[in-house]
Structure 1
């Protein structure tokens, strides 16, 4: 049932803030638990908990995209948070019955699976809310990182007391934070169904990807509009198969070292370096320093990723900060007289603090950069799979980093060398593949110069064919081939990598009638669906990608089902969400929105698909 919320609450910025606050509550607890794991559980048990956690996290990332797409992203976030609560509750049992260490190890395993759900759901929601608005990525990151500052301050005050009987009191506080986060996650709205996006007054579209963004950003999704849930219409097997295909994607394999590094770097920075170079009490303050710079980095990264001319500065800032932090860490490693300092030692704590500050700012830049790229390259359910792949490799990085952490396995200096070598190699990799980075910026709007402020440019769309509704001639649908402005009454569009004959753009201004007499009555309305079928057939012939514009006044929103004859499988195409490839379809059926046509049907013969499609609206072989 549709929920009622005021318009201000249904904006992408407000929902991004709500998502950030959910994570703030959960990670105020968890960040501190992880940071003090060795102290609270003992080094051996802490190592087993963390190892188990990241093993299940890594495995969970292989299936979390499927669960997220089947259940919906908000449900994945809620279930994921409950996994964190399980660790806290099993920890409370362990503090009372320390002989049962296996209980808390099991809690870590549950948390790992929960984390895979939480982060996959979060990634899909955040990228859907942001729609390539990097300032919203930065907003979430900054609010999320406030959790670590709060947790660090709480720990500093808690451990600053002279005597502590046990950790139960602190963990009860943590449990309260996590459960409040689970409750707050129920108020996350589903994009785009429950969102209201303000129309942009100045926008130029220069690529196929920008067309997708324009459709979503220019549509005012009304609060009382009926719409399907944010769940996949595909089978569980299909979702799992598509997730595993990420491991053969050249784009994802190229980004793999970045994903891995975001996990591998922190065990050395926060645990190996922190535990050796500052006192237990001071770690809490260094945690505040690190994550305060993460907060600042969120706002800085959000600004830098807004335009093509400044986005690469985000990567440059990461390089400067990571080199600075590593250099300071090496100095402290080589001069042990400045190690193991306490906040009471005054200026002696400055060098470790500067290292933590540099690392925090660098970490924000690389994580926002990755999210920004994924937001440009993937849409809808593909985002869940991309986030799952990202978190899988990040978790592998954490796992290896924590395995290396005991100095009995690898000395602190060798850990520094390994971490620094990986970060330095990232620059070489990025330089050699700079063209791929540039592709991410293709079509991204350049920052306007001061002389352009207040001027509304013409909206230019990509080269292709629009499906246009006109009320004349009893209502008609037109093909309009265009290289220029997007028609205001367009209801659909296709574009292709294949060449389009030039005469199609010149004869009659690129316009030709597809079908007329479509207004009034069920029989005429059926012609509207037939027009869509003809439009899709032309798109198939050009191996094109298709998108549907949600009509604001005239025209009829439609559902389009595609059919794969090899699988005997009908698929609801999410045309209003993103450019969708129709080149591999064998047939289509077009009908009114939310029709019961194929609901629950997993397999059907082609003849039956076409027959039922004609009863619901119109259908055709492609």
Structure 2
């Protein structure tokens, strides 16, 4: 690359062919001038952070998810969305995940076209309306509004989670992806923890089985704040990593090129379909855990405490797996295999314990009767500790599963465009699984059947994914692999030698 071209890339000015080339965004550049690149250090730390850095942006995205899906999880963790009648929430969740499943396949394209902050903000709005629908239901029993809010949430959540996934997988350096994922998961699940704490405090002496209006009102306001916070993010093309590199994104993509990207992701990496069963399984266990265990067998204040402990366990699981997945003394390929094996062992250990609990419980028809409320477990009962620990381990397991999947997808690509498409497939298939299981719950399928099918799918999906981990997770991501599905773009730019020079620079450490 000539000096003139290099300067054009660094300054963002000069030849439009160089400036608009989609691969110039992976070039290492000095940090530009401007307030968003002005570094500062927290007291007692050595490393700088700036507004348009991956750390700062991930922190902001984490708090958006803390306030929106994090608080949503606290509500869902109670079983029935905090309602005594779990049927209403099951139908709303079916609508949520059915829409999410469709939108998820294309939400990566929306994220790349609209930009990260707009996508996240639209996504955050749906959570606030969903909480408002339950407040409305407390007074008018309008189930139709709850189901509509659930469907709208499915569209919004598809956008939010795809934008979040693209940030978490594409922004960090390869060596830091596990820590970034675990840091996000900790902050995100603090939303569940704080939300559950709000519910517990406000409903400590509530014997009705339904949470108070004040609880729903607090969630509505906090979720709306999360949607507004997303507007203060910067888009991916402004982010500069710690090593001076920019995120690989496609400049000014067309709708056609982005929809083609979904097909290219499958066409050029067909083995990714072996991860689809794990994608499918990644949210199905919420149905059984939240409605089949927590709502069915615990009273409201015990459910609130269980939810608090569940999301605390998620934080622990994210920290453990995130740290292990970035353990630099082991090669990345070895860490990937170890993560999958340990997840397989955890599946049998935790869900095996779940069977010991489930086999002694009354059938679903009994737990749904209003008279059964007085027989549900309270946290003051002598028999509370064992089931509570089971619920804690369910939370730990969920975080391990999600952290591992995000890390695996991040290990397969560093491209912002490719990871956005992959995250879209992930959330779409995940939501299809959730929609099916919430629909089964709404149809009254026995909790024991839900338990068995959930356990079986989780175990089998790990085995199906094993070939991808053994054959395609390498010790570093190949730049050729990241860029090959857009090779036709190289032929149409005015600087065809740019990619070769960039690869040479990376190999020589320039």
In which range does the TM-score fall when normalised by the shorter chain? 0.7 to 0.9
Aligned to 1:200: none
Aligned to 1:438: 470
Q: Deviations over 1:103-124 (max 9, x none)?
A: 3322222111000000011011
Q: Secondary structure at the match of 2:252?
A: coil
Instruction: Indicate whether 1:83 and 2:126 are aligned.
Output: yes
CA distance in 1, matches of 2:454, 2:165: 26
Q: Deviations over 1:421-459 (max 9, x none)?
A: 11222343244x1xx3134442349xxxxxxxxxxxxxx
Aligned to 1:582: 487
CA distance in 2, matches of 1:231, 1:177: 34
Task: Structure 2: give runs of 5+ residues left out of the alignment.
Answer: 1-32, 40-48, 363-374, 499-510
Aligned to 2:440: 404
Change (3 A) 1:405 1:245: farther
Q: CA RMSD in A?
A: 3.1
Aligned to 1:478: none
Q: Which residue of the other structure, out of 387, 399, 405, is the alignment partner of 1:364?
A: 399
Range with greater deviation from structure 2 (45-54 or 183-192): 183-192
2:265·2:485 contact (CA, 8 Å) conserved in 1? no
2:412·2:473 contact (CA, 8 Å) conserved in 1? no
Q: Which residue of the other structure, out of 241, 252, 255, is the alignment partner of 2:272?
A: 252
Aligned to 2:98: 55
Alignment of 1:163-562 (within 5 A): 167-191=212-236, 193-197=238-242, 218-219=243-244, 232-244=251-263, 246=265, 249-306=269-326, 307-308=331-332, 309-336=334-361, 340-346=376-382, 348-378=383-413, 379-405=415-441, 409-431=444-466, 433=467, 436-444=468-476, 545=480
Q: Secondary structure at the match of 2:494?
A: strand
Q: CA deviation at 1:163?
A: 6.5
CA distance in 2, matches of 1:191, 1:389: 20
Q: Which residue of the other structure, out of 58, 65, 83, is the alignment partner of 1:23?
A: 65
Aligned to 2:173: 131
Change (3 A) 1:411 1:220: closer
CA distance in 2, matches of 1:166, 1:142: 26
CA distance in 1, matches of 2:145, 2:404: 38
Change (3 A) 1:357 1:314: farther
Corresponding residue pairs, total: 432
Range with greater deviation from structure 2 (85-94 or 70-79): 85-94
Structure of greater relative contact order (alpha carbons < 8 Å, 6+ residues apart): 2
Q: Secondary structure at the match of 1:582?
A: helix
Q: CA deviation at 1:247?
A: 5.6
1:68·1:76 contact (CA, 8 Å) conserved in 2? yes
Change (3 A) 1:239 1:365: same
CA distance in 2, matches of 1:412, 1:104: 24
1:190·1:230 contact (CA, 8 Å) conserved in 2? no
Q: Secondary structure at the match of 2:235?
A: coil
CA distance in 2, matches of 1:162, 1:357: 23
CA distance in 2, matches of 1:418, 1:296: 27
Flag the structure with higher helix content.
Answer: 2
Q: Which residue of the other structure, out of 31, 36, 39, is the alignment partner of 1:4?
A: 36
Q: TM-score, with normalisation over the residues of structure 2? A: 0.76
Q: CA deviation at 1:255?
A: 0.3
CA distance in 1, matches of 2:222, 2:256: 36
Q: Deviations over 1:193-240 (max 9, x none)?
A: 23351xxxxxxxxxxxxxxxxxxxx3267xxxxx9x966533212312
Flag the structure with higher strand content.
Answer: 1
Q: Which residue of the other structure, out of 162, 165, 180, is the alignment partner of 1:120?
A: 162
Change (3 A) 1:286 1:441: same
Q: CA deviation at 1:39?
A: 4.4
| Larger Rg over CA atoms | 1
Q: CA deviation at 1:290?
A: 1.8
CA distance in 1, matches of 2:394, 2:447: 17
Q: CA deviation at 1:261?
A: 0.6
1:373·1:440 contact (CA, 8 Å) conserved in 2? no
Aligned to 1:214: none
1:62·1:392 contact (CA, 8 Å) conserved in 2? yes
Q: TM-score, with normalisation over the residues of structure 1? A: 0.63
Task: Structure 1: give runs of 5+ residues left out of the alignment.
Answer: 198-217, 222-226, 446-461, 463-494, 496-544, 547-576, 594-622
Q: CA deviation at 1:418?
A: 1.1
Q: CA deviation at 1:138?
A: 0.9
1:328·1:354 contact (CA, 8 Å) conserved in 2? no
Instruction: Indicate whether 1:106 and 2:148 are aligned.
Output: yes
